[in-house]
Amino acid sequence: MRVLASAPAKIILFGEHSVVYGKPAIAAAINLRTYVWAEFNEKGAIKIEAKDIRVPGLTVSFSEDEIYFESDYGKAAEVLSYVRQAIELVREEADRRDRGITVSITSQIPVGAGLGSSAAVAVATIGAVSKLLGLELTREEIGKLGHRVELLVQGASSGIDPTVSAIGGFIHYEKGKFEHLPFMELPIVVGYTGSSGSTKELVAMVRKTKEEIPEIIEPILLSMGKVVEKAREILLSDLDEEVRFERLGKLMNINHGLLDALGVSTKKLSELVYAARTAGALGAKITGAGGGGCMYALAPGRQREVATAITIAGGTPMITEISREGLRIEEVIP
Ligand SMILES: Nc1ncnc2c1ncn2[C@@H]1O[C@H](COP(=O)(O)OP(=O)(O)O)[C@@H](O)[C@H]1O
Ligand SMILES: C[C@@](O)(CCOP(=O)(O)O)CC(=O)O
Ligand SMILES: [Mg+2]
């Protein structure tokens, strides 16, 4: 039997980092996906074929069914740890720790770009392997297992990424609980710096600063939570679209400033943010952990101009749409 599952990337509209400390956040699944094939192998081992993963310092190449890591083993093992933990967790849930499983991954999501590639690969792996082992799990349960994977690998995770990747759509999330927000097309442009940041390292860095100067960092996290609550209020209001976008844009700019204060922006991210605002975006901010990766801009009627400004500033604009669908079982071959 072979199973193919896929799971989407996401953007965090408001509240990254503060969400790790129990504050609310708002995120949406987007139409970039990670695909995972799962099948049994007779060796009783876990085998991972990560076909197109590009991480600086690591090259993975393939022959028929062997994987070669052109790097030290430690680094390769670390990079594949989300997938390995996802498989091990599902084998445990199914009480089939002995079962050999091979997974093969292809992905459209840039890695370490703040678009939740770690959550998508974990969720798609859990989806494919649980189906293979005959476990009946709901999307919500799969999101919770994805959260456990992120906790095991990163040491800290709010769970928002695996939740939105598993269930899809547009959500408000707080302390493990989510609420679907009304589906709406937002006129946004995502700008990719081309460099990556490790969520594990950035979350650890914020925690260290918080421990050193809690009297300064805690009020920033509190403010971020308040920005999210205000944004939710605006998203659910019946305000005129123009006013609504204008207010959301202002909140995005505040949220970016607060993220910058936490130290997770970079020169390039800020350049893309300011280029977008100068080209007419109502708001622009980092999305995801930062340290490189992506920003996004809200630009009703100005998406083309903002995309051009991002290109001129040295970034890559991406036109993305919100994905209603989360985890999908694409194919089951008996
Ligand atoms: N296609 C993939 N195959 C295997 N592992 C992946 C894949 N995509 C992402 N990952 C894992 O996720 C990590 C990146 O996660 P993270 O630092 O949270 O950034 P982000 O989730 O923003 O992309 C990679 O280093 C790797 O371990
Ligand atoms: C920084 C954080 O809020 C989001 C991280 O997203 P990403 O891995 O950068 O896509 C961490 C978390 O919510 O667990
Ligand atoms: Mg991640």
Q: Are 11 and 146 part of one and the same domain? A: yes
Number of domains present in the structure of the chain = 2
The domain of 52 spans 2-181+322-333
Calculate the CA dihedral of residues 334, 138, 163, 204 and round it to 10 degrees. -80
Q: Which residues are annotated as a binding site for ATP?
A: 110-120
Q: Whose CA is nearest to atom 23 of ligand 1?
A: 112
Ligand 1 atom closest to the Cα of residue 107 is: 1
13 lines ligand 2 (CB under 6 A): no
Task: Convert the pLDDT of each residue in 140-190 to its tens digit.
Answer: 999 999 999 999 999 999 999 999 999 999 999 999 999 999 988 899 999
C-beta separation of 189 from 297 below 8 A: yes
288 lines ligand 2 (CB under 6 A): yes
ipTM over 0.95: yes
Q: What is the rounded CA–CA span in Å between residue 188 and residue 319? A: 8
8-state DSSP, 55: B
Which residue is listed with tokens 């695909």? Answer: 35
- Ligand minimally distant from the alpha carbon of residue 54: 1
Worst-scoring range by mean pLDDT, 40-44, 88-92, 224-228? 40-44
pLDDT for residue 48 is more than 70? yes
pLDDT for residue 230 is more than 70? yes
Q: What is the rounded CA–CA span in Å between residue 178 and residue 191? A: 27
- In which band, very low, low, confident or very high, does the pLDDT at 57 lie, cut at 50, 70 and 90? very low
Q: Which CATH number covers residue 193? A: 3.30.70.890
Q: Are 203 and 288 part of one and the same domain? A: yes
Ligand 1 centroid distance, CA of 305 (Å): 31
Mean pLDDT of the chain: 93
79 lines ligand 1 (CB under 6 A): yes
Cα–Cα separations (whole angstroms), residue 64 to 44, 51, 289? 19, 12, 36
Q: Are 220 and 111 part of one and the same domain? A: no
Q: Are 195 and 170 part of one and the same domain? A: no
Q: Are 327 and 228 part of one and the same domain? A: no
Closest to 129 in 3D by CA, of 97, 152, 161: 97
Q: Are 43 and 169 part of one and the same domain? A: yes
Worst-scoring range by mean pLDDT, 16-30, 57-71, 171-185, 297-311? 57-71
- In which band, very low, low, confident or very high, does the pLDDT at 320 lie, cut at 50, 70 and 90? confident
- Ligand minimally distant from the alpha carbon of residue 121: 1
Cα–Cα separations (whole angstroms), residue 249 to 146, 253, 281? 31, 6, 8
In this predicted structure, what is the pLDDT of residue 55?
54
174 lines ligand 2 (CB under 6 A): no
Q: Are 158 and 18 part of one and the same domain? A: yes
In this predicted structure, what is the pLDDT of residue 275?
98
Q: Where are any strands of DSSP class E within the chain?
A: 2-14, 25-41, 46-50, 60-62, 67-69, 100-107, 170-174, 177-180, 188-192, 283-287, 294-298, 316-318, 328-333
In this predicted structure, what is the pLDDT of residue 307?
97
Q: Are 33 and 89 part of one and the same domain? A: yes
pLDDT for residue 115 is more than 90? yes
Q: Are 154 and 204 part of one and the same domain? A: no
In this predicted structure, what is the pLDDT of residue 45?
85
Task: Convert the pLDDT of each residue in 264-301 to its tens digit.
Answer: 999 999 999 999 999 999 999 999 999 999 999 999 99
Cα–Cα separations (whole angstroms), residue 45 to 41, 87, 160? 7, 11, 31
Which residue is listed with tokens 């589906």? Answer: 183
Task: Tokens for 155, please give them.
Answer: 């040491």
The size of the chain, in residues, is 334
The single residue of 161, 238, 240, 260 carrying the catalytic annotation is 161
Q: Are 148 and 296 part of one and the same domain? A: no
- In which band, very low, low, confident or very high, does the pLDDT at 79 lie, cut at 50, 70 and 90? confident
Q: What is the rounded CA–CA span in Å between residue 113 and residue 16? A: 13
52 counts as catalytic: no
Ligand 2 centroid distance, CA of 290 (Å): 9
